[in-house]
Amino acid sequence: MLAILALLPMTLLTGCWSQREIDDLSLVAGIALDKAHETKVEKALTKNGAARKKEDLISITYQIFTSSSGGGQGKGGGGSSEQKKYENFTETGDLLLESTREISLRTERPIFAQHFKTLVIGDELLRTTPIRSFMDLMYRESEFRPSALVFVARGLARETFELKGAKEIPAFRILKMVDNQYKSTRILPSVSLTKLLTFLQSKSSFLLQAIVKGGGEIKFAGAGIVHGQSGKLIGFLDEDELSSITLITGNVRGGVVKFADEETGQKNLYEILSYKSDIVPHVEGDNISFEVRIEARGRLSESWVMNEKSFDDRFLKRQGQYAAKQLERNIRQTLEKIQKRYKADVIGFNKELRIHEPKTWDKVKSQWDQKFSQAEVRVHAKTTVTEYGASGSKVIEHRNPPGP
C-alpha cells in the first residue's frame, strides 16, 4: 500500500496527452480577410506546380509570431530582408478552413489561433459579399478567440499587417491604438467578434473602425457602414463624421471640438473633460422624432483670438456658446448623410425607441431603417468652459486682484 501511495503522485506529473508545446505552434496575432488577391508567393508556387482545385473567392492572411532570433521576411507577399517579429502567410481559395489547412503545407508549425487579437476585413470583400457568409467559420471553429476586435480596411486588409521597421507586430499596434479613445472622439468603441455576432443576429446596421495604410504606416480613418439587411459595406464616414457619431451616442472619454470665434474669425479648440448625451424619442400618432441633448464641460485649450480680456468670464462664456453651435452643426451634417444617403441607423436610435416606446417599436421594427431616414432629429448642445489654461499674466490678475 505504501508503494502504491508513493507512485500515485507520479500519475499527476505526466501532463495532458493532447498537450502541444508552444514552440511547435504558429501562434496567430491577427487575421486579415480580402476579396481574392493572390500574392506573388502564391503565384510563384502555383506556376511551379503547387495547384489545387478551387475557386478564387477569398484570401486569408495569418500574422504569426516569430522568435526574437527568427527574423526572415514575410512569406505572404514578399516583404523585406529586414528581420521582423512576425511573418504573414496568405492563402487564396473558396473556403477559409481549407485555405488555413493549406498553410500547413508551407510551414513546419500548425496554425494556432486561440490567442489572436485582431481581425481586419478588406473593403472590397465587404462591399461584394455579405459578412455573414465569410464570418461563419469564426463562430463555428472553437479555436478562434471571441474577444478579438474587428476592423475594416480602406483597401487590402493584409496591407495593414505590413509596417516599416521591425519593432512591433502590426496586429498588436492596431489593438493598442484603440486605447487612445480617451484622447479622441474619432475612435469607435471596440467591436469584438462577440458583439459583431449580436449585430448579425439582429440584422442591425453598425459601424466598424476603418484603417488606412500609407507611407508604411497605418491610421484610424473614420468608420465603415455595414447595412443590417444586406450585411454589406455601403460606405464610409470620415473622421469628422465619426466624431459626430460618438458625440451623439455619448461614447466619449475625451476629445476636442474645433470652432471659430464669430467676432474675429480666429480658430479655437475646446477640449472635452466631461460629457453627457441623451437620445429622447417622441411619438405622436404615426410620427416619430428624436431629440439629442448634449452637455459638455471642458477647457479652452487653444485660442488664436488676440484679446486682452481673453480670460474674462464673458469671453469664456461666448467661446462656450460658439463651441456648442459648431458641435450642433457637425452633428446635423452627419445625420443628414446617414439618414438621407445611407438610410441606416448605425447610432442606436432604434434601441432608445424600443426601450421607451415598445409598442411603437413593434410596429416599425421590420422597416426601421426606412422609418429612421424620415424621422426628424433635433440637436441641442450646451458646452461650458471650466478651465482656460495658465498662459499669460491675466490669469494671475484675474485670480488675485492687486491690493490697495
Q: Which residue has the higher pLDDT, 304 or 67?
A: 304
Residue 244 is assigned to a structural domain of this protein? no
Residue 193 is assigned to a structural domain of this protein? yes
Task: pLDDT band for 74, please (50, 70, 90 cuts).
Answer: very low
Q: What is the CA radius of gyration of the chain?
A: 27
Task: pLDDT band for 56, please (50, 70, 90 cuts).
Answer: confident
Query: How many domains, in total, are found in the chain?
Result: 2
Residue 334 is assigned to a structural domain of this protein? yes
| 255-282: average pLDDT | 91
| 154-169: average pLDDT | 88
pLDDT tens column, 19-38 = 555 555 678 889 999 999 88
**Listed residues 189, 212, 237: the one ending a domain:** 237
Residue 212 is assigned to a structural domain of this protein? yes
Q: Are residues 324 and 384 in the same domain?
A: yes
| 331-357: average pLDDT | 95
Q: Are residues 114 and 196 in the same domain?
A: yes
Is residue 307's pLDDT more than 70?
no
What value does the mean pLDDT of the chain take?
A: 84
**Listed residues 172, 206, 237: the one ending a domain:** 237
Q: Are residues 269 and 216 in the same domain?
A: no
Is residue 17's pLDDT more than 70?
no
pLDDT tens column, 99-109 = 888 888 888 77
| Per-residue pLDDT, 171 | 93
CATH of the domain at 317: 3.30.300.210
pLDDT tens column, 221-246 = 999 999 998 999 999 999 999 999 99
- Per the structure, the complete domain to which residue 195 belongs is given by 25-39+53-66+84-237
Q: What percent of the chain has pLDDT over 90?
A: 51
Q: Are residues 152 and 222 in the same domain?
A: yes
| Per-residue pLDDT, 160 | 95
Residue 163 is assigned to a structural domain of this protein? yes
Q: Are residues 104 and 230 in the same domain?
A: yes
**Listed residues 237, 259, 282: the one ending a domain:** 237
Q: Are residues 295 and 269 in the same domain?
A: yes
pLDDT tens column, 119-128 = 999 999 999 9
Q: Are residues 181 and 294 in the same domain?
A: no
Strand order in the sheet with 376-387: 255-260, 267-284, 287-303, 376-387
Residue 9 is assigned to a structural domain of this protein? no
Is residue 353's pLDDT more than 70?
yes
Q: Which residue has the higher pLDDT, 5 or 329?
A: 329
Residue 78 is assigned to a structural domain of this protein? no
Q: Are residues 261 and 216 in the same domain?
A: no
Residue 12 is assigned to a structural domain of this protein? no
Least confident stretch, 46-50, 236-240, 291-295: 46-50
| Per-residue pLDDT, 12 | 53
Q: Are residues 313 and 188 in the same domain?
A: no
| Per-residue pLDDT, 47 | 86
Is residue 96's pLDDT more than 90?
no
Q: What percent of the chain has pLDDT over 70?
A: 84
| Per-residue pLDDT, 79 | 46
Task: pLDDT band for 39, please (50, 70, 90 cuts).
Answer: confident
Strand-pair category, 86-93 with 376-387 = unpaired
| Per-residue pLDDT, 5 | 67
| 187-203: average pLDDT | 93
Is residue 333's pLDDT more than 60?
yes
| Per-residue pLDDT, 73 | 41
Q: Are residues 112 and 143 in the same domain?
A: yes
Q: Are residues 178 and 261 in the same domain?
A: no
Q: Are residues 223 and 290 in the same domain?
A: no
| Per-residue pLDDT, 387 | 72
| Per-residue pLDDT, 182 | 86
| Per-residue pLDDT, 261 | 87
